[in-house]
Amino acid sequence: MAELYHECGVAAIYHLLQDGISPLAPQNDPNCVAGLIPRLLLDIQNRGQLAAGMTSFNPKRKQLIKTYKDVGSVNEVFRLGRREKAERIIKRYNGQAAIGHVRYATCGTDDRSYAQPFERSHVQKSKWFSFGFNGQLANYQKLREQIETQDDFHLARETDTEIIMHLLSQDFSIHGRGDLVGTMSRLARQLDGAYNIVFLNARGDMFIARDPLGIRPLCYAVEGPLFAAASESVALWNLGFDVENIKTLQPGEMILIQHGRLEKHRFAESPHKAHCFFEWIYFANVASTLDDRSVYLSRTNLGVHLANQEELTIDEDTIVVPVPDTAKPAASAMAYELNIPCLEGLMRNRYVGRTFIESKNRADKVRTKFTPLPEVFEGRKVILVEDSIVRSTTMRGLIDQIRTRGKAKEVHVRVACPPIIAPCFYGIDMSKISELFAPKFMEGHNLTPEVERKMAQTLGADSLRYLQIETLAKSIGIEKSQLCRACVNSEYPTEAGKELYQLALEYNKNPEATQNERTYDISAVMSTRS
């Protein structure tokens, strides 16, 4: 789904004070491991292409921690296409430890000041720190109001990352240095939502932490003296860690590195889990394993369930075609179960990226990103498999292109996800009901064959079938009680999420009045009126 974006991804690396040098450390130098951060970020680039950055720690450097970041992809920011420039950047910012970040914004603007990590300078080393944040705070506006009502406090950016920076700074001022587990425990009592944090200070202290619900994934590995962490396991695997050493950080847990020693701590109780199911069906790299569940196998299971519910008459002209790229495993599995060909009829232009010349016309956008092959489509009955339909703009354009340019005889859309009926307040860029496709048809959230027929007609398809919600937990292999499925069943796992959804429902009755505002923005307006 070219219409759907994640907020960000995080990474961390540390050469611990032990005998021996890790074979993964460049030049066998413990002060060169920070230069591995761009490699880690490349493998989680799928989680954010707006900006990238890193902060490194080097005790031999006058600038003990140093941050480098900018707007652009990892390749662009770190100049990876220009060897001499890339080497100069790495040499200048190398060190014994580092944290990294890739960003897509669900809040804030498209400029360098919003790129992460966020660094806060201070003459006291324990209060001079940098951190990166993956997720979104559902109680962002309430926290912002609490801070700004305090005399002499001001927030310069519209982002929850600055909220966390302020709360960390305030805790360090009140409780002193060194008690980072206590800091996270106190922070957890104030934060509602999804938050994975990677932290590094000028004393060389590092921690990674995962919120008590485990909404977003976080993995780590230790081999010899080298520790690394990333939002997805594939980044650690490709860096060279053995697969058996790659572990999942559990919800409410943190790994703390102080004085060169690593310890795991529980900073908050985890009464229940709420892993975002979208990680497995769309966001994560297909080669990743999240919370001990393979992304690839989860997506192939979705395809099996699609095949099991298929009622279309299959003939010799029937083919399955995936929408690149995340729908490929589901499409292949569906075709295998139905014993029909799975062909790549849509060629995706991987070099389009973000561009100022992008047209506002839907058909032009689709032509820029996808090329249908008449050799595949012409005269065929096409089962077009997509991972999800959110706003429907891309899908409508694709179907039109498959008919007009591809010359397909029939187009039948199959979606490896239930209908998206509610916004996400935990880090996915869909915060209003009015921008979603399915709620316009599903009164009372009931999905019936008649509703699917009306949806298909609107999209320009011959038929449309969604995956049943019951199959999500079965496909992923995690109990439904441990998954956040709020966007498909409107059952939010946190109190602030429930409050925002009620506000979204209220304002959906008059969507024109809030056409250009997110639910968070509406919440801010309401609070100023009260």
Tell me which of 102-116, 251-265, 326-340 is least confident. Answer: 102-116
CA 192/CA 138 separation, integer angstroms: 6
SS3 content of the chain, % helix, strand, coil (to 5): 40, 25, 40
Percent of the chain with pLDDT over 90: 76
The pLDDT of residue 426 is: 94
The pLDDT of residue 110 is: 62
100, 52 contact by CB (below 8 A): yes
| Whole-prediction pTM | 0.91
Strand partners, 223: 226
39-85 tens-digit pLDDT: 999 999 999 888 999 999 999 999 999 999 999 999 999 999 999 99
In 16-113 the beta strands, taken as DSSP E runs, fall at: 51-57, 65-71, 97-103
Residues 6+ positions from 446 with CB-CB distance below 8 Å: none
∠296-299-300 over CA atoms, to 5°?
85
The two most distant CA atoms of the chain are separated, in Å, by 73
The continuous run of DSSP H or E covering 421 comes out as none
60, 94 contact by CB (below 8 A): no
∠529-194-70 over CA atoms, to 5°?
90
Q: At what angle do helices 140-148 and 519-529 cross, to 10 degrees?
A: 40
- Judge whether residue 108 has pLDDT over 60: no
CA 451/CA 472 separation, integer angstroms: 21
43, 242 contact by CB (below 8 A): no
The pLDDT of residue 28 is: 65
CA 113/CA 155 separation, integer angstroms: 13
Burial grade of 350 (CB within 10 A; 0-12, 13-18, 19 or more): exposed
Average pLDDT of the residues in 439-457: 92
207-244 tens-digit pLDDT: 999 999 999 999 999 999 999 999 999 999 999 999 99
Q: What is the architecture of the domain spanning 8-271? A: 4-Layer Sandwich (3.60)
**Which band of pLDDT confidence, cut at 50, 70 and 90, is reported for residue 312?**
very high
CA 483/CA 480 separation, integer angstroms: 5
Has 417 been annotated as catalytic? no
**Which band of pLDDT confidence, cut at 50, 70 and 90, is reported for residue 22?**
low
Q: Where are the domains positioned within the chain? A: 8-271, 294-489
Cis bond upstream, residue 325 (ω within 30): yes
**Which band of pLDDT confidence, cut at 50, 70 and 90, is reported for residue 165?**
very high
The continuous run of DSSP H or E covering 321 comes out as strand 318-322
294-489: CATH topology is Rossmann fold (3.40.50)
392-438 tens-digit pLDDT: 988 999 999 999 999 999 999 999 999 999 999 998 888 789 889 99
Paired tokens of 413: 């859309």
CA 308/CA 303 separation, integer angstroms: 9
Paired tokens of 244: 């058996």
50-59 tens-digit pLDDT: 899 999 999 9
The pLDDT of residue 152 is: 79
- Between the CA of residue 203 and those of 37, 59, 130, 200, what are the distances in Å? 20, 8, 11, 8
Q: Which among 8, 219, 342, 484 is annotated as catalytic?
A: 8
Neighbours of 111 (CB within 10 A): 13
Q: Helices (H), strands (E): how many in the chain?
A: 18, 23
Can 8-271 and 294-489 be said to share one CATH topology? no
Lay out the sheet containing 253-258: strands in order across. Answer: 118-120, 129-137, 193-201, 206-210, 253-258, 261-266
The pLDDT of residue 507 is: 84
| Phi-psi map region of 42: left, alpha, beta (phi>0 left; psi -120 to 50 alpha) | alpha
Query: What is the chain's Cα-based Rg?
Result: 24
334, 303 contact by CB (below 8 A): yes
CA 423/CA 430 separation, integer angstroms: 5
CA 95/CA 37 separation, integer angstroms: 11
Q: How does DSSP classify residue 420? A: -
360, 337 contact by CB (below 8 A): no
**Which band of pLDDT confidence, cut at 50, 70 and 90, is reported for residue 304?**
very high
Dihedral in degrees, nearest 10, Cα atoms 185, 187, 193, 198:
-90
**Which band of pLDDT confidence, cut at 50, 70 and 90, is reported for residue 105?**
low
CA 437/CA 440 separation, integer angstroms: 6
